[in-house]
Structure 1
Amino acid sequence: MRAAYIEKLGPPDVIRWGELPPPAPKPGEVLVDVLATAVDPVDTFVRSGVFRTPLTFPFVVGRDLVGTVASGGPGFAAGETVWCNSLGHDGRQGAAAEQAAVPADRLYRLPPGVRPEEAVAVFHPAATAHLALFAHGGLRPGETVLVGGAGGNVGSALVELAACAGARVLATAAPRDHAHVRSLGAAEVVDYHADGLVERLAALAPDGVDVHVDTSGRNDLRAAVALLAHRGRVVLLAGARDEAALPVGPLYMKDGSLRGFAISHATVAELAGAADAVNERLARGGLRPRAVEYGSLSETARAHQRVERGELHGRRLVLRP
């Protein structure tokens, strides 16, 4: 089979496109013919070594796939359309190939009527958002959520999922993204470059923010803690190289909490719960990607370069064999 793979850690140009032996499914795995895969920032962390995880070289890159079951496996029949968003790390080969062997407990059926090449663009950001809000943020109906950087892929999913769960959503975004963020259910959207941003947000949430999630990677914990409600929660999901200062006193005086969260550490049960929620929204017509660019798996190295350069505001790269 053809695949995008690496033989050592390094910059995007270490990615090769060529022939590898097809995967041989182990007990408990399902062989999948890949229809499409998405390129995530975390893929670049694995490839570069920023996120340390067990790898076997040659290593196929990529985390997300949508495909069809090539031959019947545990709980799946040949021809079913399926997806996975947890390949390409922790000893598992990746998704950027013509075929992949996927553990059955990490494989989910795609709801009928959902376009596979469109859906693959939202699996990772939507599952990330769900786990951040509910598994780590403990979000409950009627609470107030603040989503920083709501115009991006994860930010958009955070807004939609929180609003659908009955939360009041405040968001920050660039002005060009305000209409989009409001369309997803945000009650208020503020320009994140606005003067007096913290004061404006505090006025919009006089009782404080119950769950604070910032997707930008620039974690201003002084501002986040200042905005928290009593027993509010700050969930950190971006900023692998950030070393923000934590105002310890104000945090504990509010009975507040700070949770770090990387989806790569999610349990199989947590991922399955997120997949159920994502499938439910997809089946209802939600979680549609804002913009998708399609390309070939042979362009994986260039796709990693574009992600690292920050060229994809609100867009997703979907690559097909």
Structure 2
Amino acid sequence: MKKELSPPFKITNDILNLVYEIGELVGKISAEKEFEKNLTLRKENRIKTIYSSLAIEQNTLTLEQVTDVINGKRVLAPLKDIKEVQNAYEIYERLDELNENSMKDLLLAHKIMTSELIKESGRFRSKNAGVYQGDKLIHMGTLPEYIPELIDNLFLWLKNSKEHPLIKAAVFHYEFEFIHPFQDGNGRIGRLWHSLILSKWKKFFAWLPIESLVQKYQKEYYIAINNSNKDGESTEFILFILEIIKETLIELVETQKMTDKVIDKMTDKNKERVKLLMKYLGQNDSISNKEAQSLLGISEATARRFLNSLVKENLLVAVGEYKARKYIKK
């Protein structure tokens, strides 16, 4: 029987407190069930996930362009960037089919994520590779001949570990990035697998845009990885990731509360208008007065009053001068 090697990390009081706090937030979201039922919200968050994960890797497409690519519209942009979006969307849509404990599925995910982009798509790298900051080498990946064994052992630990899924997902994420098993796409696959592990615990994690906060705190993300590399264990990275997840869940709970509170006070007609508007903003960066008129079938003056009322209720933010004004979700 193969001997399992456990990755080094410590379970601190801070980590235990975060696991508890996240569990409380998960309970609130699961009780409402709105997130799982709302297909528009799910798609909106999936698009944010893909946009953020690719933006971390220097993909140049805007959120609106990513949305257009996913919706099958033509976009003027580098073909490589468009293909990255198409590939990422395909594999995130197949998340339910993947086994989080399977190396075979990991290689399949990499094959789809990097299809037509790199030579060693769906295969572990055959040459040395490192992580660079400009010209400076900050981490050298595992030698190619040791990669299959180390990844196999990581999956063995993941399958057998009795740790909480929140901790297992963070440890796997860190160890995977440390091994750096692929020619390219390590960051994208590491973040995908993190979401996969959590989604097997609570389904809504498949649509939760944790990557948006990783992008927001990108500098801190790499600092946590580098400090864990120096420490020789992943405790700091676990703490960082749990803080990110907690913040994501708090935002989700507060946004839903705020939206529900505003909608409850509205007439049935305006409730329907808000639903249509939020659906539109789930697929587009912003909306103008003219676009709102067309979408909702209302006059210019009614659209202006309606949009401004949502600004007052903190659901929207107005950007730009009067005639060129756009409205975005807060």
TM-based fold match above 0.5? no
| Larger gyration radius, structure 1 or structure 2 | 2
TM-score tier by shorter-chain length is: under 0.3
